[in-house]
Structures are given as structure tokens and as C-alpha cells.
Amino acid sequence: MQRQATIERKTKETEIRATIDLDVPVRYDIKTGVGFLDHMLEQLARHSLIDITLAAKGDLHIDYHHTTRMPYRTGPSRGQGAGRQAGHRALCQRAPAHGRVLTRVAVDVSGRPYLVWKVAFSRPKLGEMDTELFHEWFQAFAQNAGITLHIETLYGDNNHHIAETCYKGLARALRQAIAFDPGQAGRVPSTKGTL
């Protein structure tokens, strides 16, 4: 089974082309024009072992909102691709730490999109990126991937590391969610028989 997807979208505000591949060695290439977002998506690719190729052009002269906000831009590409290619549905939880920051991420790739976001930043920006846009990105990812996603930073005060642990936690949770479970023998892991 090929677990690869390419998504393209062009609007007056953004233009995007994204490809993800769940089964090739990771060789990500991410260019959004938003340096910190590129860094976070590279973390996502590297730690999930999902190959991501993403080229996005947006109206950055206005602000980073349209490029970063994912429901109709890069988020659907990441989310829809991951949701389409998961191959099965699973529940997993990881607790990534970075320095003095601990974030817990749980993913249920069930087709029921929802985000629980318990993450606080003490600054309005990281570099040139508005920290409120991280919530937007994860919300759109959950919606477009059809996953239930819980993200909670338990403690920490370094804003860069807080953002990084959110992406790394999602990456590790996704890595487990897309792995085939030989114990299921091809069955959907639900007593309903479908998700």
C-alpha cells in the first residue's frame, strides 16, 4: 500500500504544494517564508519520521496569519495527508521534554476531529511569528487530519522550547499512530469494527 499524498492549493492569499510520504527515509524540504514555522515543521518531520516536502508562498507583507493558519493552507496539507495515509487508527501518548519544559501530547486518529489546547506563552511573538498562531495551526491540523489531539504543557517558561515540545510531541505521537500493529492482523482497533 502506498502511503503518500500530494496536495496543492492556490488562493489570493496563499499558494501551497505539499507532499508527505510515510514510508520513505525522512528528507524533509520545508519553505514557508516563516523561519520559525519552518523550524517547527522540520521538527515534526524529523521526529515523526514522516517525509515532508512543503512549499508555501503567502502574503507575508500583511502578516504571517494566512501562511501559518492551517485550515485552508499548509495545515490541510499536513493534516489531510497524515489522515489519509495513516493506514489504521491508533491511540498513543508521549511526553516530550526540552530543557525545563514538559509537554504531553495524546493523539487518537479516529476520524473525530477535536483539539484540546492547554499551552500558554508568556510572549506575543517568537521571532516574527505571533504565538497565538500555534493554536490555529494545531486546530487546523486536528480538523483536517480527522484526529482528536490533546496538547498540554505541564511546566516550563522558555517560549521557544514550549512551541518545540508541542511539535515534537505531535511528531512522536503520529509516528506511533501510523505504525502498523501486527497484533491487529489488519483489523480496525475498535469493537464497532469501523472508525
Least confident of 68-72, 77-81, 104-108, 119-123: 77-81
| Separation between Cα atoms, residue 33 and residue 95, nearest integer Å | 30
pLDDT number for residue 9: 85
Q: What is the mean pLDDT of the chain?
A: 81
| Separation between Cα atoms, residue 157 and residue 69, nearest integer Å | 24
Question: Is residue 144 a contact partner of residue 71, using CB atoms and an 8 Å limit?
Answer: yes
pLDDT number for residue 82: 52
Tens digit of each residue's pLDDT (9 = 90 or more) over 45-93: 988 888 999 998 888 887 777 777 643 444 444 445 455 444 433 333 3
Q: What is the pTM of this model?
A: 0.70
Counting residues of the chain whose pLDDT is more than 70, the rounded percentage is 76
Name the more confident of 131 and 91. 131
Task: Tally Cβ neighbours within 10 Å of residue 25.
Answer: 7
Residue of 9, 3, 26, 153 whose CA lies nearest to 69: 9
pLDDT number for residue 188: 64
pLDDT number for residue 190: 60
Mean pLDDT of 21-48: 89
